[in-house]
Structure 1
Amino acid sequence: MPDLQIHYDVPAGGDLATHYARGESRPITVVGNPVLHERCADVTDFGDDLARLVSDLFASMRTARGVGLAANQIGVPLRVFVYLCPESYDRAEDEVWHAGHVVNPVVEVTGDGTGAHAEGCLSVPGARAVVPRAARVTVRGFDLAGNPVEVTGRDLLARCFQHETDHLDGHLYLDHLTAEARETALGEMSEPAYPVVPNPTAAQDATRS
């Protein structure tokens, strides 16, 4: 990825270089893994473990070349997401990208416009589908130190905030599709170019029960 102009929406906890140096890249969970299909727990401890988790999320997002990543996508069922995302869909070379993290996020629609654009997900590798989303939203939550944060985004950044908060509620973008469109998207999944967590097999599930 070329050098980016980056605006740090939530500067607490260091810049990207700090997170990349401290973080560990973890494999991504994929559709069917139970951790993706249940609501994540609120964060109550704003300590070192949370700081490491945020750094791991940034490192994992860089490995998978995503623009957003929720904690349950690396197997941690806590309400945290990170993002490194432009606002426009064309991702112009000179565009400023937004970087940040939000703990215990709540998304509020702050505009009347909507957009229906193709959406993908690191947890559904290779597949894309058109999903209507609000074109302008505000996400509120906390930073690593427990300080309140508020970030407004439009277009692709707004979609990112909605997509990642959906993850923390136990939903994938697939859940916004018709049954037919969902089956089509699942059929388009391909081998990812990044490490993933193997899903439990039926035999493993039977052994655990």
Structure 2
Amino acid sequence: MAELPKIAQIGAYILRTKAKSVIKIEDKDILSLIDSLIATAIASKGVGIAAPQISQPYRLFIISSHPSDRYPHAPTMSPTAMINPRILNHSQETVKDWEGCLSVPNVRGLVPRYRQIEVEYTTQVGEIKQEVFTDFIARIFQHELDHLDGILFVDRIENEADLYTEAEYQEIITDVRAKVRGQRSEVRD
């Protein structure tokens, strides 16, 4: 297998640049880029990754949701390429929840996002899809779409107190898991 591309880190110019639309989806470079994004998302255990994160200036990202140490309650969604994605509509309700980013290592934050979004994107076989996403999948979509516009999740933080180190985050979710397990055992007793 080819070597995985390096993930651009905060401070890289490409992460602050608006990506350009993909014109020829069937182009072998675009199809190869999709394969690289999927492989990188899987190898890094990420739930999504955008082309600018591997220094490619295209409006293209992957959503690959799955439960993990970082997101233990994430739903499962097979790696899905979303080309020239956009939000058509969104709920008024926003929810503040945890986010991190492969391009912003060792930082987590509570980020407000729309709870439900109606989206449109083109698949890697050229099909235009419209879907409604809610909760965690909607959050991933909005996070990755921000990457295409040069925005990082830390830009969306409303209050500095909503930023945490990875170690602080792990401690918090470990405590939450322990409380949930304790509540389950109380119910069984």
Shared fold (TM-score greater than 0.5)?
yes
Deviation at 1:155, TM superposition (A): 0.6
Does 1:147 find its partner at 2:114?
no
Does 1:61 find its partner at 2:57?
no
1:1-209 matches, within 5 Å, as 25-46=4-25, 47-85=27-65, 90-91=72-73, 96-178=76-158, 180=160, 188=165
- Contact 2:58–2:148 (8 Å) recurs in 1: yes
Indicate the residue corresponding to 2:187 in structure 1. none
CA distance in 2, matches of 1:24, 1:52: 13
CA distance in 1, matches of 2:95, 2:159: 21
The alignment of Structure 1 onto Structure 2 pairs a total of residues equal to 163
Query: 5+ unaligned residues in a row in structure 2: which ranges?
Result: 168-189
Q: Deviations over 1:116-142 (max 9, x none)?
A: 012111110110011110011122121
CA distance in 2, matches of 1:83, 1:119: 14
Deviation at 1:90, TM superposition (A): 4.7
Partner-residue secondary structure (3-state), 1:44? coil
Q: Let me know the Cα RMSD of the aligned residues.
A: 2.5
Partner-residue secondary structure (3-state), 2:137? helix
CA distance in 2, matches of 1:121, 1:158: 16
- Contact 1:86–1:156 (8 Å) recurs in 2: no
Taking a change above 3 Å as real, the CA distance of residues 53 and 157 of structure 1, as seen in their structure-2 partners, is same
Runs (4+) of structure 1 exceeding 3 A deviation are 178-182
Q: What is the TM-score of this pair, normalised by structure 2? A: 0.76
- Contact 2:51–2:61 (8 Å) recurs in 1: yes
- Contact 1:114–1:133 (8 Å) recurs in 2: yes
Query: 5+ unaligned residues in a row in structure 1: which ranges?
Result: 1-20, 191-209
Question: What's the % identity of the aligned pairs?
Answer: 33
Q: Deviations over 1:163-193 (max 9, x none)?
A: 00000001001111258459x56xx479xxx
- Contact 1:108–1:138 (8 Å) recurs in 2: yes
Partner-residue secondary structure (3-state), 2:105? coil
Higher relative contact order (CA 8 A, sep 6+): 1
1:38 partner letter = T
Q: What is the TM-score of this pair, normalised by structure 1? A: 0.70
CA distance in 1, matches of 2:120, 2:43: 27
- Contact 2:111–2:158 (8 Å) recurs in 1: no
CA distance in 1, matches of 2:10, 2:87: 23
